[in-house]
């Protein structure tokens, strides 16, 4: 989830645990502990694929966070002696704010390795979008009311904070139930179609849990479709997109290709990029990409390799055709051969405003709302303000 949501959740949990005794300090320390796991984005692993797949690992492990909690609680107790709370009282605040962070992240589709060191399986339920106001707003409202009422009516302040936590948690339960409902409809639709019922991914579209994006993989590519809980027909329609997976065959044993296939759980597309394709040269954390803070440049290639098209693996779970968050060059075509190369990340293609508007109309208006799938919109239209050959902005 986004940083604001983790801050709000940490503050609310901290207030619920120790707010009556230490006041706003519980919210401040809860917010701080609630954001600590994401500091792993500051650690470089020396390779874009490693940075991508080693995020949410040990720093998000329930075991390691539990091990770290006593030391952190002891430090806070030492720093906050004047607050009047003991180490034993700070410990549950620290532990709960730390572990609720990865538990919440695990409900997104990215992949959180909760069970390290016992298992490296990336848990990604995918029932909630990385930014969802319907989850965050109740937490913020509850906290704001609690801070305002803490002096006048502590009991009422605690009830407001608890209400925010309960409402946001119930909303998470709703997203899991809605996702399960959509999955059942999708499988019935597939059974009545020519599409092979293969690996199926159901995730919400940006900022809501009404309109759901569906991806169905097959050997030649993937089928992408949308289903709204407001649709009057319990079926999903799909559009097919080709994936050139055969391009990876010569480098199928390369670590980068294997790692991305594993981490994406098979939901990836393979394509060929032009030699002049821009690459990301700054920090490739998803937040910096969303804020457009990542520098880009043409791929640095030797004179011998300047003509080589890149072989790109794109994670299909985050984004939608043709705008995806995570794409990596893992190989290059050298004449008739494909050779493995050190991975390079491509800049994120942000979903433009007109595509978001299309999704909104589809979600609330049903199938007859004049909906165009995002892939039907011209990706080279003024929606993408960047010249793909130079990496420079061509829009004001």
Domain boundaries, the chain: 3-176, 243-396
pLDDT at position 393 over 50:
no
Closest CA to 316 of 201, 211, 198: 201
pLDDT band at 370 (very low <50, low <70, confident <90, very high): low
Q: What is the pLDDT of residue 153?
A: 93
Give the Cα separation of 360 and 358 in Å (integer).
5
317-340 mean pLDDT = 90
- Give the angle subtended at the CA of 330 by the CAs of 324 and 50, to the nearest 5°: 80
> Does residue 328 contact residue 344 with C-beta atoms inside 8 Å?
yes
The label of the residue with tokens 């803490």 reads 150
Considering the chain, what is the average pLDDT of its residues?
87
pLDDT at position 207 over 90:
yes
255-279 mean pLDDT = 90
> Does residue 98 contact residue 60 with C-beta atoms inside 8 Å?
no
Closest CA to 19 of 139, 149, 137: 149
pLDDT at position 392 over 60:
no
> Does residue 102 contact residue 62 with C-beta atoms inside 8 Å?
yes
Q: What is the pLDDT of residue 334?
A: 82
Give the Cα separation of 247 and 332 in Å (integer).
9
Lowest mean pLDDT among 205-209, 256-260, 275-279: 275-279
């Amino acid at each position: 989830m986004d940083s604001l949501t983790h801050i709000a959740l940490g503050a609310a949990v901290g207030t619920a645990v120790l707010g009556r005794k230490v006041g706003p300090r519980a919210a401040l320390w809860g917010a701080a502990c609630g954001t600590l796991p994401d500091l792993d984005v500051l650690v470089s692993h020396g390779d874009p694929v490693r940075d991508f797949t080693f995020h949410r690992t040990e720093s998000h492990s329930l075991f390691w966070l539990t091990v770290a909690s006593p030391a952190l609680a002891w430090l806070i107790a030492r720093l906050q002696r004047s607050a009047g709370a003991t180490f034993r009282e700070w410990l549950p605040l620290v532990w709960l704010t730390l572990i609720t962070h990865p538990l919440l992240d695990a409900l997104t589709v990215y992949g959180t390795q909760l069970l390290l060191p016992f298992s490296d399986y990336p848990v990604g339920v995918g029932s909630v979008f990385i930014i969802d106001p319907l989850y965050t707003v109740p937490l913020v409202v509850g906290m704001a009311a609690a801070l305002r009422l803490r002096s006048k009516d502590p009991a009422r302040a605690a009830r407001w904070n608890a209400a925010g936590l309960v409402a946001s948690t119930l909303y998470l339960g709703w997203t899991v139930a809605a996702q399960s409902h959509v999955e059942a409809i999708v499988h019935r639709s597939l059974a009545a179609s020519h599409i092979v019922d293969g690996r199926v991914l159901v995730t919400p579209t940006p900022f809501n849990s009404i309109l759901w994006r569906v991806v169905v993989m097959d050997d030649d590519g993937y089928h992408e479709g949308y289903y709204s809980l407001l649709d009057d027909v319990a079926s999903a329609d799909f559009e097919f997109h080709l994936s050139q997976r055969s391009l990876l065959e010569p480098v199928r044993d390369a670590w980068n290709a294997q790692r991305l296939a594993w981490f994406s759980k098979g939901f990836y597309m393979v394509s060929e990029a032009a030699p002049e394709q821009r690459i990301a040269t700054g920090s490739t954390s998803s937040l910096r990409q969303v804020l457009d803070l990542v520098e880009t440049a043409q791929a640095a290639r030797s004179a011998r390799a300047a003509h080589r098209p890149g072989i790109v693996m794109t994670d299909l779970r985050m984004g939608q055709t043709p705008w995806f968050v995570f794409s990596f060059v893992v190989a290059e075509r050298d004449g008739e051969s494909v050779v493995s190369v050190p991975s390079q990340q491509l800049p994120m293609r942000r979903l433009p405003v007109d595509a978001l508007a299309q999704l909104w109309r589809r979600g609330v208006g049903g199938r007859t709302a004049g909906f165009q799938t995002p892939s039907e919109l011209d990706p080279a239209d003024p929606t993408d303000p960047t010249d793909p050959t130079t990496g420079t902005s061509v829009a004001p």
